Structure 1
């Protein structure tokens, strides 16, 4: 591909504004610069072109024939550029890029997005899996969903929309007659190995040593291992509500609340159009989430 020459874009823009508006002062106002700045740009452009583009006294400048030709060409070009820019910006406004913790995206958010699209057909949601701290200055996200106790960092707003409950989950057949935590393999995720200790602290249920521990890279892998009867793991309620309702998993101890909640985090600067609608829909959808079975102790059976 041939290399483009270095066009004097600032000077061309200044000349186009003068040619269209007819006065240096009006061009200066439109471009938010001084009268002298526009004049210097036009003079510089004439030097680069090697031809006079304007003629007459300073207070009544007119275009030369060369200036007229250049002005017509620039007018068409800037009109096309402006139209293309508006189309690209409009398309960007219609797409909301949401960063979300992966299991919530898979188990709860994405299955419900058809309802949002039916209500707002002009908008589309693109979901990217992410877990780390939110930094809108470095990541190209319009909004983020995180499970956290609080949100820190300047120039961000956070809306809690969904409470979090967690508890042990296991294949239904393993829970029949009560679950013996002391003899059932313990399932963990690499990124949150403290899940069992946190559940014990929140629930007040002591957790005995397990005969075997099995670790998985992601929570959704661990949940599939639980469904397959490979052991018992800790999960947020919202991730397993459908599996429990369908009989794929059981929660013999029920669920207990955690201090963390699911938050929608938005940049503090004026957010992209459509995010207000997404936030309102998210809050409404969360309000319809089923309540979890609460903590019970009768399912606990420990061997001596």
Structure 2
């Protein structure tokens, strides 16, 4: 009785009067006294179970409406993609949807909504996606060698085979990038090169003229446009794709974000 009064913001006596009123209305006792204090009768316990389920449904409906109206949207995203592609474009989303705050977390683990605390996941299709999830295609991945304009001028590259004359850079998170590109382009690629712990470090090293890196086009699109990097031999399809994934019952703000990022990718 005391806890009920505190939760509802009324007096203990008011709760007692409401219980008596309910008992008069239904014509049966809902509470009884025992050695341990006041406890529900069988009828009172049954009524409480059913009403509790109803109140939970009401609360869930209110929470869903509140979530749809805006608030925080948790997005799990690949680290380098977040830094190099998503963040530079998020200002446009914030302008178009000021009521939705996008909160980013970094992950390249398989998407699992039953474990991850996020509304949307942006992933590369190198593993299975959750069954029943809604998938928004972004773009097919294309990858190729990139380097600084100064290093490209110094090497005077005439064809892909000339890449063997320059230091090769690679990331530990994607150790087979050079071999994959060599197999798809028909170019023999020697082993070795300088390894970097993260892809972001790799791209900064390439922009600084330390060597040539194999990079996905979305990760370097802005650098190419700004002239920090060049891709002398273009990009080839890697066989992978970038997608935005959300639960089928995700709130409206998740659908709004996925529709927006799909349009950004198409552009």
Asked if these proteins are the same fold (TM beyond 0.5), I'd say: yes
Native 8 Å contact 2:206 2:213 kept in 1: yes
Render the CA deviation track for 1:111-147: whole Å, top value 9, x for unaligned: 1111111111111100111111111111111110001
Which has the larger Rg? Answer: 1
What's the offset of the Cα at 1:232? 0.7
1:241 aligns with 2:221: yes
Structure 2 equivalent of residue 232 of structure 1: 212
Matched, 1:168 2:168: no
Counterpart residue number, 2:93 = 116
Aligned partners of 2:137 and 2:102: how far apart in 1? 20
Identify unmatched segments of 5+ residues in structure 2: 9-13, 44-57
Taking the aligned partners of 1:163 and 1:21, their CA distance within structure 2 comes to: 67
* Cα distance in 1 between the residues matched to 2:205 and 2:93: 31
Does 2:260 align with 1:281? yes
1:208 aligns with 2:189: yes
User: For 1:91 and 1:149, how far apart are their aligned partners in 2?
Assistant: 31
Q: TM-score, normalised on structure 2? A: 0.75
Taking structure 1 as the reference length, the TM-score comes to: 0.67
Bigger RCO of structures 1 and 2 (CA < 8 A, at least 6 apart): 2
Evaluate the alpha carbon distance shift between residue 16 and residue 280 of structure 1 in structure 2; reply closer, same or farther with a 3 A threshold.
farther
Cα RMSD (Å) of the superposition? 3.8
Shift, 1:148, TM fit:
1.4
Count of equivalent residues: 236
Other-structure match for 1:71: none
Residue 206 of structure 1, CA deviation: 1.1
Map Cα deviations across residues 33-58 of structure 1 (whole Å, 9 max, x no partner): xx99x92xx33xx44785799xxxx9
1:125 aligns with 2:74: no
Unpaired stretches in structure 1, ≥5 consecutive residues: 1-6, 28-34, 59-81, 289-304
1:217-273 Cα distance to aligned partner (Å, 9 max, x none): 1111000010111111110111111111221111111111222111111123x1123
